Amino acid sequence: MRIKSLKVSGFKSFCHLVEMGFTEHGTTVVVGPNGCGKSNVVDAIRWVLGEQRPKHLRGGSMEDVIFAGSAFQKPRGMTEVTLTFANPTGDTLSRFNEYSEIAVTRRLYRSGESVYMINKTPVRLMDIRELFMDTGIGGTGYSIVEQGRVGEIVSAKPTDRRTLIDDAAGIVKFRTKRQAAERRLEETGQNLLRVNDVLRELRDREEGLREHVENAQTYLDLQTQCCSTEQNLLVLRWHEVGRQEEKLDAKVVEEQQHRQDLQTEKSVIEADLQRFSLEQTQRADQLTRKREALFQKEREIQEAENQRRLQQQTIENAREQQGRQEQELEELQGRLTRLEGTVQDASGQFETLTEKREILETEVAVIERTRAEQNDVLQEVTILLQSLQKRLLKLHMELTNQTNQRNFLKERLTQFQERLQRLQAQRDANAELVRQVEGRAHVSRQQLGSLQAKRTTLETRVEALGLCASQQENDLDELDQRIRELRFQHGAACSRLESLQQIQGQYEDFSNSVQQFMERLREQPELREQWGLRGLLADHLIAEPEWLAQVAPVLSEVLDWIVVEQSAQLPGLAGFCQQEGFGSLRFLALDRLPRVPESNLPGTSLVDHLSFREPLEAWGSRFFQRFRMDESGVWSRLQEAWPDASVIWVGPEGVRIDEVTVQTGSVQEGSLGFLARQQEIEQLEQQTSELSTDITAEETQQEELREAWSQTQEALEQVQSEQRGQELDVLSHTKELEHHQLELNRTRQTSEQFDSDLRQLQEEISEAESRYENTTKLLGELEAERQELEGASETQQERVQSQSRRVEDAAEDLLQRRIALTEVMEQQKTAESTHVRLRQEHSESYQRLQLLESGQSESSRRLTQSRERIEAIDASFGGLLQSRDTLKVELDSETVRHGEQTEKQNELLRTLQAKQKTLEAVVGAAHDTSLKLAEFRMQREQLEMQLHDFTEQAPATLVPELDLENLKVRELSREVQRLKAQLNALGPVNLAAPNEHVVLVERLQFLTEQSEDLQKAVDDLKRTIRDINVESRRRFREMFDQVNEHFGEVFTKLFGGGEAQMVLTESEDLLDAGIDIVAQPPGKKLQNINLLSGGEKALTALSLIFAIFLIKPSPFCLLDEVDAPLDDANVGRFTNLIRQLADGSQFIIITHNKKTMELGDRLYGVTMEEPGISKTVSVHFQEAERMVA
């Protein structure tokens, strides 16, 4: 896998879209002047690979990477970098081995929104980090080496240095997983402790709550059983009452039917009586007519007999007519007399009968009117009686209802009192529970307040420690930046110092003689000891910069003097110089001190502007004392007496006056250049020393600050751990307080409900008592009214009975009168018939008498007539006798039927009276049955109302569920009383305990499962950490040994000799061991790595990095001016090693060195044609060579 291209837009100085293509098999070099944005390429690659630390991107915040604008270009609102990898063989990234190219994109907006993409698919930052994990690619990997990073690798702490080996060994992922597992293990352990603490507390609470649950469960079971039994009892009573009601209802229907039947029968009997009365009347009339017909027939027979006897007698006496006429006349006269008496008697009897008939008819009419009136009265009193009976029935029903209502209210009052006592007991128990819960809530609130205060304190401490740690991190970053800058400055100063020292060591600014002499001393250092040589005077003299131009004429003459220790060595040294042919040389001996001029001379001495190094300090201060500085009056010294021959006046612009000569003009720059370089070397040495001191101080401060940061982090972690524990405690106590608060609210609501129930119950009791009193009062009133109505009803009943008797008596009297009237009418008709017959006989006798008296002549005729009549009578007498017998039989039969009908009528009257009595009995029984039926209906309604308190179902739907054959009301009633006694014996019961226990058990089960899961997680995490540690140790040891072996080999190649190795610091665990580097460049003794020069440090760090590349080459390597501290020879060895490594890795090098530039297969130049905006130009050398060819 290789980098194919980099697209940058809006990143730092790259305002516009810039695309850089890289050589996949070779080296790409990026060059450009300082400040053009070359390092921004490195920052872009580091940023797109997931760098989150702005300071590592040379910024203060992440928004600093967005193009901030220039003098002619507005700021950009977002930045985007896309890094494309060529992955033709899928050899590195297994997750994407099917892709030939992998494009990683990162986009950032000024709003802070960040987007990560792989192949244009949005992903997480973690996905990008996992993508390149253990490949050496990344912000902390060994594939990107920036400016200053080379020195940091060498000077880093051992624990920080081992990250390179970890990355190469592929255990970064394991370390990340182990750290995450350790964090999870610590958090899980803390959570496990907290969960176990909560579990212990909850188990204690569960044990205390279990007894309440058992009591509540027993209470609920008993209450359920009691309610069920009482419900069954009520249903059974309802069913029994219903059955009795059905029976009574059927009985009422039967009695009503019976009553109706009796009424019908009574009506039928009354109709029959009316019909019989009518028939009897008609039959009496018919009987009278038959009697009259019989009487008529008998009269006719009598008349016929009489006529026949008469005629016979006439015939018999016809012969004796004469004899007997007188006798007959006498008989006729006597008969007439008798007939007259009989007619008078008959007339009197008829009149008597007529009067009697009229009297009887009047009496019958009166009796009928009386009977009708009595019937009307009877109907009225009967209606009144029925009204009274209806009122009495209604009153009985009302009395029953009110009695049942009073009994119901009495029982309800008893139930209310019992419920009131239970509610008061439960309210008192709940009030006690409220006080207990309030106490627990108060304690929990106090504990929570204390914990919250402690949490606030811990939060304050965490915030303070966080701010302190953040400040320390910022200080560390600033120190790190300052140390890098100081190291960079120190490296630059050392490089400059080495260059100047190299130049100074060649003494190019002096004469050839001096150069040859000093070159010989450099080649033969022993000559210094032999002749006591201490170098040139310029090596030991320092001039103030501002006075350098003025003292140049003086110093230019003496700077090339060679300093020797003893003047005795000068002859031999002079001979040696002549022998070697060094030419003109000037020596000064330190033991020959110059004479000091007068000290009261005007002006300042040159010594005041010079300083000397040992051993020239004494000689120099005496020698240069003779030079006097006079800027304004130097020319006036020519007019004055010369104080001392050794005094030389020095003026501005190169004026130099001694006792004999005046010198003007500038001097050669060579020796002054050496002096200036020497001063610069002095300054650089001082600067490097100060920088070393500053670096040491900064590193010491950094170590102290790191130690303080570590302590702060430890304190912060400890406080955070305490805070997490405190948060768990607060959460636990908050939950507990919420539980107490919920329980308190529930108990308060229960108390309020109890109070409400008590108030409602008391209102119901008051209402029930009021209703009971009203019902009792109403019952008294109804009872009085009932007694009054019963008295009235009895009186009215007596009146009805009395009136019924009157009606019956009237009917009987009417019947007797009607019978008597009928008899009188019959007698009257008989008397009338007899009177008519007697009158007729009288008339006939009178006529006979007249006839007898009129003449005897008629006797014969009459005899003949008599004979004819006798014959006629004899001829018709048989028919008359037969008619008479027939009429007699019919009359007897009609008389018998009339008697039978009369008996039937009397029987009907008796039957009617019996029916009337039966009807009255039936009406009374129906009334009693109706009262009982109303009572049963009220009982069923009361039972339905009581059942409504237990269930919403209709009683009829509950009856099929009962075992009616085995259930008895008395047994169920005893069972209900027994269950209620057991319920009362339980006393106050916390009915909320089961729900609380269920919630508590669920929470216990949940926390137990959590505890088991946490314990399992702890064991799994420990096992995972152990496996990770074992694998990490194995990989680290193998990689360390391989890298250490190659490190020595690469070190020898880069240094041209020497030796180096890595050494593990002492540690109990291999994973915690740091790595020290022991390096011995060629020709040097084994020393501390920090004492190496900048170039040596750079070569040592590159040796370590390249040693890692030899074992595990990264897909690419990005080097940012790592060759800056190297000289040409080291650069050559550096480039040779890169050529060897380029076959296995892709190199991208940012450099200023020409030799390094020669490595590149492609050269990119970064420029700023427009100020503040970077652009790139590129040259592909192979393509260029092909084009040239």
Average pLDDT of 688-702?
79
Q: Residue 106: pLDDT above 90?
A: yes
200-244 tens-digit pLDDT: 777 777 777 777 777 777 877 777 777 777 777 777 777 777 777
Q: What is the residue-averaged pLDDT of the chain?
A: 75
Q: How confident is the model at residue 8 (pLDDT cuts 50, 70, 90)?
A: very high
Largest CA distance in the chain: 266
Equal CATH topology for 1-143+1114-1188 and 397-560+670-796: no
Instruction: Write down the pLDDT at residue 669.
Output: 47
- Distances in Å between the Cα of 754 and the Cα atoms of 149, 424, 746, 1117 are 79, 8, 12, 82
Q: What is the end-to-end Cα distance of the chain in Å, rounded?
A: 32
- Quick count: other Cβ atoms within 10 Å of Cβ 526? 8
Question: What residues does 1116 pair with on adjacent strands?
Answer: 1146
Q: How far apart are CA 116 and CA 108, in angstroms?
A: 9
1094-1147 tens-digit pLDDT: 788 888 888 888 888 788 777 778 888 888 888 888 888 888 888 888 877 888
Q: How far apart are CA 145 and CA 159, in angstroms?
A: 19
Q: How far apart are CA 412 and CA 307, in angstroms?
A: 106
Give the burial string for 769-780 (b: 16+ CB within 10 Å, else e). Answer: eebbeebeebbe
Nearest of 5, 101, 2, 15 to residue 1170 by alpha carbon: 15
Q: Residue 105: pLDDT above 90?
A: yes
What's the token pair of residue 195? 């969960």
Q: At what angle do helices 321-506 and 1094-1111 cross, to 10 degrees?
A: 130
Average pLDDT of 449-468?
77
Q: How confident is the model at residue 879 (pLDDT cuts 50, 70, 90)?
A: confident
Average pLDDT of 512-530?
78
Q: Residue 637: pLDDT above 60?
A: no
When mean pLDDT is compared over 327-341, 904-918, 1161-1175, the highest value belongs to: 1161-1175
Q: How far apart are CA 1124 and CA 82, in angstroms?
A: 29
Q: Is the dihedral of CA 517, 518, 524, 525 positive or negative?
A: positive
Q: 400 vs 32, which has greater pLDDT?
A: 32
982-1011 tens-digit pLDDT: 777 777 777 777 777 788 788 788 878 878
For the chain, the residue count is 1189
Q: Residue 867: pLDDT above 60?
A: yes
Q: How far apart are CA 80 and CA 66, in angstroms?
A: 9
Q: Residue 140: pLDDT above 70?
A: no
Homologous superfamily of domain range 1-143+1114-1188 = P-loop containing nucleotide triphosphate hydrolases (3.40.50.300)
652-685 tens-digit pLDDT: 656 666 666 776 665 544 455 666 667 777 777 7
Question: What residues does 1079 pair with on adjacent strands?
Answer: 1060
Collapsed DSSP state (helix, strand, coil) of residue 298: helix
Residue type at 37 in one-letter notation: G
Average pLDDT of 447-456?
77
Classify residue 14 by its DSSP letter.
B
Q: Which CATH number fits domain 146-216+1015-1109: 2.40.30.10, 3.40.50.1370, 3.40.50.300, 3.40.50.150?
A: 3.40.50.300
1010-1047 tens-digit pLDDT: 788 888 888 888 888 888 888 888 888 888 888 888 88
Q: How far apart are CA 317 and CA 309, in angstroms?
A: 11
Q: Residue 857: pLDDT above 70?
A: no
Q: How confident is the model at residue 594 (pLDDT cuts 50, 70, 90)?
A: confident
DSSP codes joined into one string, 635-694: GGGGGSPPS-TT-EEE-STT-EE-SS-EE-S---HHHHHHHHHHHHHHHHHHHHHHHHHH
Q: Residue 37: pLDDT above 80?
A: yes
The residues, any chain, with a CB within 8 Å of residue 404's CB and separated by 6 or more, are 935, 938, 939, 942
Q: How far apart are CA 424 and CA 1015, in angstroms?
A: 49
Instruction: Write down the pLDDT at residue 670.
Output: 46
Instruction: Write down the pLDDT at residue 1172.
Output: 84
Q: Which CATH number fits domain 397-560+670-796: 1.10.287, 1.10.1760, 2.40.128, 1.10.10?
A: 1.10.287
Q: How far apart are CA 262 and CA 283, in angstroms?
A: 29
Instruction: Write down the pLDDT at residue 82.
Output: 94
238-282 tens-digit pLDDT: 777 777 777 777 777 777 777 777 777 777 777 777 776 777 777
Q: How far apart are CA 354 and CA 335, in angstroms?
A: 26
- Please state, for a pLDDT cut of 70, what percent of the chain lies above it: 77
Delimit the domains of the chain by residue range.
Answer: 1-143+1114-1188, 146-216+1015-1109, 397-560+670-796
- Distances in Å between the Cα of 38 and the Cα atoms of 65, 87, 450 are 14, 26, 58
Average pLDDT of 590-609?
70
The residues, any chain, with a CB within 8 Å of residue 555's CB and separated by 6 or more, are 541, 543, 548, 671, 672, 675
